[in-house]
């Protein structure tokens, strides 16, 4: 049974009170069940080429994919090439993406990235991790998504807030740093399944393993999840 820490006050998450034990020995069983439960998980952002994927993923930071898809439905008709973004009026671009949040930084990063792609990559979105993370606003998570879904290149596992939360609750990592979490998960997940694993955990986090109140009784892996044991015992579920 997980050991309880000293009581925290005003915690938003009951599970923060516990040291979640190492549960990596159950990874294969957990992953098999999650795959069977979610056999057709697909990317939730809409895009038709690597440039659109880059823009959509940059915009998705601190926003929802539903909102991003609403914005990009119009955005991708107005801006079709790297030149369109590089030459865009900054204030106009800010207005076009306003509802995604942090629109000033995002607009500047998009314009600067488009310029770099034109000047240093012959007008094509780069296909390596090193080159992608050199673009403004692009970290490993975004680069992993672009490589996997834009070019079919398997480099690593995209770790967003859902992947971070679910993997920690499952006892697959104790880290809070996304890059360290990624390394832990890469040691468990077969390389050919890196992208599907990330998408599956994201879907599971959105539908079942919610941040504030996980739906443990409906979770297909609740008997293998140390956090599920804690949560259901606290509420007599």
Segment holding 163, helix H or strand E:
helix 161-169
Q: Which candidate in 35, 160, 174, 215 is catalytic?
A: 160
The contacts of residue 82 (CB under 8 Å, 6+ apart) are 51, 114, 117, 118, 123
The span from the CA of 63 to the CA of 106, in Å, is: 12
The span from the CA of 129 to the CA of 44, in Å, is: 22
Is 22 one of the catalytic residues? no
The span from the CA of 235 to the CA of 237, in Å, is: 5
Is 141 one of the catalytic residues? yes
The span from the CA of 201 to the CA of 204, in Å, is: 5
Please classify residue 204 by burial: count the beta carbons closer than 10 Å to its beta carbon, then call 0-12 exposed, 13-18 middle and 19+ buried: buried
Q: Which candidate in 141, 164, 184, 195 is catalytic?
A: 141
Task: Tell me the catalytic residues.
Answer: 141, 160
């Amino acid at each position: 049974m997980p050991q309880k820490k000293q009581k925290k006050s005003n915690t938003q998450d009951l599970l923060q009170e516990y040291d979640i034990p190492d549960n990596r020995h159950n990874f294969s069983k957990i992953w098999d069940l999650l795959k069977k439960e979610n056999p057709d998980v697909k990317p939730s952002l809409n895009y038709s080429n690597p440039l659109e994927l880059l823009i959509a993923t940059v915009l998705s930071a601190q926003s929802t994919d539903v909102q991003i898809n609403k914005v990009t439905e119009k955005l991708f008709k107005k801006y079709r090439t790297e030149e369109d973004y590089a030459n865009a009026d900054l204030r106009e671009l800010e207005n076009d993406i306003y509802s995604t949040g942090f629109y000033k930084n995002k607009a500047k990063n998009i314009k600067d990235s488009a310029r770099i792609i034109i000047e240093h990559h012959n007008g094509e979105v780069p296909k390596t991790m090193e080159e992608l993370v050199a673009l403004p606003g692009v970290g490993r998570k975004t680069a992993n998504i672009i490589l996997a879904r834009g070019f079919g290149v398997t480099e690593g596992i995209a770790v967003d807030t859902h992947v971070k939360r679910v993997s920690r609750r499952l006892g697959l990592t104790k880290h809070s740093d996304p890059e360290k979490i990624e390394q832990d998960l890469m040691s468990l997940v077969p390389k050919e399944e890196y992208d599907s694993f990330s998408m599956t955990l994201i879907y599971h986090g959105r539908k079942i393993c919610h941040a504030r109140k996980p739906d443990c009784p409906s979770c297909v892996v609740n008997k293998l999840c140390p956090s599920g044991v804690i949560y259901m015992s606290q509420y007599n579920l």
